[in-house]
């Protein structure tokens, strides 16, 4: 009996072990599945996206930005500026504006006050470039993106066409072609081709408001003044040619200098 009872007890224990072992294995497998989400093979990918979201950016996000702003480039012009930032923090921009007569008068006041040119020279400049159209297009880079430093260089074109008479100039200028032609109509075309380089600071206010301040230098590499008159008098034609030369020389004396720019607009 003792021997038979012992064999029965051993058999019961063996049966229990066979039942418990698969159950334990299934339980361990379930626990592993439950723990697999934070520690499984997808954990590294999830962590990468979580870090990107924590830093406020999406992985491999495109680096495009557009700034549309009102811009004043003293003492040249006032107008508008559109700048597109592309991947690599390169910038493509276009400026369009006018040269207000008030700007020209301000420069003339400084120039005549310091003895750089005469009142006659100032009147010539006012007639030639006052209310002229200004266009600039160029490239630049923002090494650290926005906000940050911006370095740009572009081609600037300033041109104007106006109808006037010699009475529109000062008496000293009219004397170059004689008083007898003072009332004759003149057509004046002026163009200036220049390079404009700037060192700027571009920043953001309230996320979508863009502000830009810059110092720069503009330098003309060519300019042209053409005067056309209806007069067929040879003396008048010769004198008009001399007047064109005088105006070109005067324009060449001013077609370079420092600039100060401010812009405010929308950042998209």
Per the rule left: phi > 0, alpha: psi between -120 and 50, beta: everything else, 60 is: left
How far are the Cα atoms of 91, 114, 174, 176 from residue 169, in angstroms, in the given order? Answer: 42, 22, 6, 11
pLDDT of residue 159: 92
* Weakly modelled stretches of the chain, pLDDT under 50: 1-3, 5-6, 8-27, 30, 32-45, 48-49, 51-54, 56-62, 179-181
Nearest alpha carbon to residue 142 among 81, 197, 85: 85
List the CATH code of the domain at 65-267: 2.40.160.20
DSSP string, 73-127: EETTEEEEEEEEEETTTEEEEEEEEEE-HHHHHHHHHHHHHTTSS-HHHHHHHHH
pLDDT of residue 119: 74
pLDDT of residue 1: 46
Output the pTM of the full model: 0.67
pLDDT of residue 52: 45
pLDDT of residue 241: 78
pLDDT of residue 9: 46
pLDDT of residue 221: 93
pLDDT of residue 87: 92
pLDDT of residue 165: 66
d(CA 82, CA 266): 10
Nearest alpha carbon to residue 261 among 207, 205, 204, 213: 213
CB atoms within 10 A of CB 68: 15
Q: What is the pLDDT of residues 20-58, one digit of tens each?
A: 444 444 445 545 444 444 444 444 445 544 544 445 444
Domain ranges within the chain, ordered by starting residue:
2-54, 65-267
């Amino acid at each position: 009996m003792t021997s038979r009872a012992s064999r029965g007890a051993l058999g019961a224990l063996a049966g229990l072990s066979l039942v418990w072992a698969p159950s334990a294995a299934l339980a361990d497998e379930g626990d592993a599945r439950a723990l697999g989400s934070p520690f499984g093979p997808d954990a590294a990918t999830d962590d990468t996206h979580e870090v990107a979201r924590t830093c406020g950016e999406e992985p491999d996000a495109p680096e495009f930005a557009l700034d549309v702003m009102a811009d004043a480039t003293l003492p040249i012009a006032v107008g508008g500026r559109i700048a597109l930032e592309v991947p690599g923090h390169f910038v493509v921009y276009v400026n369009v504006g006018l040269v207000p007569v008030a700007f020209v008068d301000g420069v003339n006041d400084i120039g005549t006050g310091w003895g750089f040119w005469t009142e006659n020279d100032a009147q010539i400049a006012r007639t030639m470039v006052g209310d002229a159209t200004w266009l600039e297009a160029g490239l630049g880079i923002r090494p650290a993106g926005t906000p940050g430093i911006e370095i740009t260089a572009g081609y600037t074109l300033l041109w104007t066409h106006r109808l006037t008479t010699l009475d529109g100039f000062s008496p000293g200028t009219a004397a170059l072609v004689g008083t007898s032609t003072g009332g004759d109509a003149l057509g004046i075309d002026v163009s200036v081709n220049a390079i404009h380089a700037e060192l700027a600071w571009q920043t953001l206010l309230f996320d979508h408001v863009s502000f830009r301040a810059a110092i720069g230098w503009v330098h003309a590499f060519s300019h042209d003044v053409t005067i056309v008159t209806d007069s067929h008098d040879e003396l008048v034609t010769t004198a008009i040619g001399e007047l064109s030369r005088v105006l070109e020389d005067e324009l060449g004396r001013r077609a370079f200098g420092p600039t100060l720019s401010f812009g405010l607009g929308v950042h998209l």
